[in-house]
Every structure is written in structure tokens, then in C-alpha cells.
Structure 1
């Protein structure tokens, strides 16, 4: 029982195993056991079932596993109205064309943020934003948006992260969150990656819930703070428009 919810351990373990493939497309039994924190014998039993059901496939020559055809069959039935990454893509592309910089969409997953969609800049020098990347919540404009507009309870959960770095003072971070809520956007300058800057704004769904963070990012040489601040009004307007599409 977790947080008042009845869970089935075998199902949890099977899902943990499948999530290992978000970090690598091909994994051995030993690698999966290490990633999932499970005994190799347990992983072998679960992988046999997942393979029988078509959720994973095994390469006999390398003895490594990959996601199976059933995963793609399920994703094919995910409609645009269900998936913000697909639903908001046209507006993201429009924003990319307007600002000529990389546009990304993030959601919070526990104490991390997950990039669920990205539209790359057409500039020769650009910031490549791989979809599926997981990043910490203590640095970056999008991270600060996802924390600043979360509930107080969620903020405390995030700020109590045991791996929160000493270099990021919680008190100063809380002060930043207040300023971000008042401004409606956040700016990051080389916080996570040297030479990179970004500006982000919250996307709220039709019920007023925080759905995602929308960001524009690029090299510092092209996107100094003054320029990012100038982009903020358009970014917030696009985020508002996107929110009207999410139920």
C-alpha cells in the first residue's frame, strides 16, 4: 500500500523494467537488473512474460532486449487529444519559426522533469534538445517553472530531495520561485549547460492545473538575458493558447 493506493508488486516491477528502455534502446538481462534494482532471476521471469506478450523482443545473437511491437501498437492508439506532445506540436513549430530558436515542452515526473516534445531551431548553431531526456528540478528555467507553479505540498516534496545539491541553497531557490510566480516566466543562464540560456513559461489546462512548461532555448551568444526577457510576453501568450487545448 503506497499513499493509500493498493499496488501489485509484479506489475510495478514489470513497469520499472519497461521504463529502463527510456534510457537505452537495447539492454542485457544484467543491465536491466542493475537499472531496475532487481535480482536477475526476477528480471528473467518478468522478461519471459513480457516477451511472450510482445512487449519486448530479444536478439538471439546479442542476448539483448528491445521494446516489442505491442508498445508501438499501444502508442498508435494515443490520439492527439490525449497526448500534449502531439496536440501542441503545431503551436510549438509556429513559435520556433517566430523566434528561430529551439522550443521544448517539459512535464514533471516526481523529482525530475521530462522533455516530452522538442522542435529544433533551424540555425546552424543551435541547442539540440533530445525528447525523453530527464533533468533535475533544481536548475533550468523549465525546472523552476514546474516547481514555482506546483502546489505547496509538491514543492516541499521536491525541495526535500535527498540528492539536492549543496550548491543550490533552498532558501534562495524559494525566493526565486516567488519572483517567478509574480513574473509569470523564468530565465536560466548557464545553470545546467555552459553557454546555454533559456526562458520558460507555464501551461495551465482548462481546469487551471499546471500541465507543462514551455521553453525557448539557445546559445548565450545569441540569447542574452535582455533578449530572453523580450521573448517572454510572446512565450506566455503561446503557453496560454496551448492551455486552451488541454482538457
Structure 2
């Protein structure tokens, strides 16, 4: 293997290590090695380079690694003018105060949906929605919205996926997509997580292009189907208003 290919491979491995911190605040060398599937000596060498550049930090007491300050420096230069998560945050907080449940914003990325913004419920028992979390695109209210209102190519990609769960009927899912388009919103009760329910509506930008899914989630014993039907017009109106705020 030539030097250029080795360099690219090292960069990919280093990025894989950084991506391990999307759902964990600190990790040991052993944990990182297990997550990326590399020998500890290789991971240790890559971590040393990342630490030298300020992308990770190591706690000498616990021997755990966490993200470094250099990432915060980079994120400070991100443009917020086109970031739906920042533009819509105030409206999401307002919707949270109206409904009393956790509000999330999802976008489609390949065959997954990614939570790019969340406003937690103020209730003692609530659904905690970490930003950056990834979930499959074939289950859940937000997934139905992101597929139902997506370009045909996204739907074809999903239905042709070899990773389609054996226990999930493609025909039933297609029917749910049709119902989502008819109603203008989607619901889910304990589809992805026991005891959890969600309601989602599409945020359409100018030209009617799908931008994101706006979701309300909470405990299933509080966010019942009846309650979600009651909230349907409210979340659709909020999603419509948010769409007018985006370019």
C-alpha cells in the first residue's frame, strides 16, 4: 500500500475515533478500541496525534479521553444563518411550553435520521433527547415523516436496503407513509423504545422541499394517541410556520 493510501486510512481511523464521542462524553482506550475495532496500540497512537492537536483530552486520573477544546474553536466558526437547529430553537421552546413534552428536530442522513436540535420537557418524567443521536429510518414518527415527504430516491433507497428488519412489513410501512401524507403528520407508540410515544410533522422550506421533521416525544402513558391527535393541528401549524423561516 502506498503512502497516500496509508495516510487516508489513518485519517479515516482518526475520524472514526472522534465519532465515538457522539453518544459518550468520555471513553477509555479499551472502550475506544472496541468501538472502532482496532488494536489498542493503533488507537493509542492515533489518540496521541489527536491530543497533540487539541482534538481530544486525557484525564490523567481516570485515564479517560474526551473531546478537546479545538473542536469548540472550529464549531464557533460554523455559520448559523443556514442552521435550522439554531434558527428554529426559539420556536421549538415555545412549542415545548405549549405542549409540555420534549421537542426534537431530525434530518435524514442516508438510511438514518439524526437529531440536530432538542428542547427537553420540564416535567419530572420526560424523554431525554440527546442531540446528535442517530436512529434507523424505518421506524418511528420522525422516520415516517422524513420518508413520506422525501424525494422518491430516498424511499427507493430505503425499500431496497438489505438491512430492512425481518419482522417489519414493507407493505405495512408503505401504508403508514400514505397515511402520514394524508394526515400531514405521523405518530408512533413504543415502535422504537418501550414506554415512549412520538408525534412528528414535516418542515417544508421554500418550494415545498423537505428540510426536517419536527417531533414531540414523551411517555406513552401521557402522550396517548388521543392526546397526539389533539396536538396534530398544533404541531403542523408550528412546522408550517418554521418552514417560512428557512431559506
Q: Normalised by the size of structure 1, how large is the TM-score?
A: 0.86
Gaps of 5+ in 1: 1-6
The residue correspondences of 1:180-191 to structure 2 (distance < 5 A) are 180-191=180-191
CA contact (8 A) 1:140 1:192 kept: yes
Q: 1:168-179 residue pairs with structure 2 within 5 A?
A: 168-179=168-179
Aligned to 1:194: 194
The match for 1:69 is 69
**1:109 aligns to what?**
109
Q: Which runs of 5+ in 2 are unaligned?
A: 1-6
Q: 1:121 aligns to what SS in structure 2?
A: coil
1:57 partner SS: strand
Counterparts of 2:21 and 2:84, CA distance in 1: 21
After TM superposition, the structure 1 stretch with the greater mean CA deviation from structure 2, 191-200 or 31-40, is 31-40
1:74-113 aligned within 5 A: 74-113=74-113
CA shift for structure 1 position 41: 4.2
Report what 1:50 is aligned to: 50
Distance (whole Å) between structure 1 residues aligned to residue 73 and residue 121 of structure 2: 31
Aligned to 1:243: 243
- Structure 1 segment 4-153 matched on structure 2, within 5 A: 8-153=8-153
CA offset at residue 42 of structure 1?
3.7
- In 2: Cα distance, 1:20 partner to 1:246 partner: 31
**Corresponding position: 1:164 with 2:164:** yes
User: How far is 1:59 from its partner?
Assistant: 2.4
RMSD: 2.3
CA distance in 1, matches of 2:197, 2:63: 42
By how many angstroms is 1:79 displaced? 4.1
Q: What is the SS of the residue equivalent to 1:167? A: coil
Alpha-carbon distance change, 82 to 46 in structure 1, aligned in 2, over 3 angstroms: farther
Query: What is aligned with 2:227?
Result: 227
User: Shift of the alpha carbon at 1:87?
Assistant: 1.7
Aligned length: 241
Counterpart CA distance in 2 for 1:205 and 1:30 is 44
Give deviations 1:61-81, integer Å, cap 9, x for gaps. Answer: 433321111011112223432
1:146–1:213 CA contact under 8 A, matched in 2:
yes
Query: Could you give the per-residue CA deviations for residues 153-179 of structure 1, whole angstroms, max 9, x where no partner exists?
Result: 222322344443222111211121122
1:217 aligns with 2:217: yes
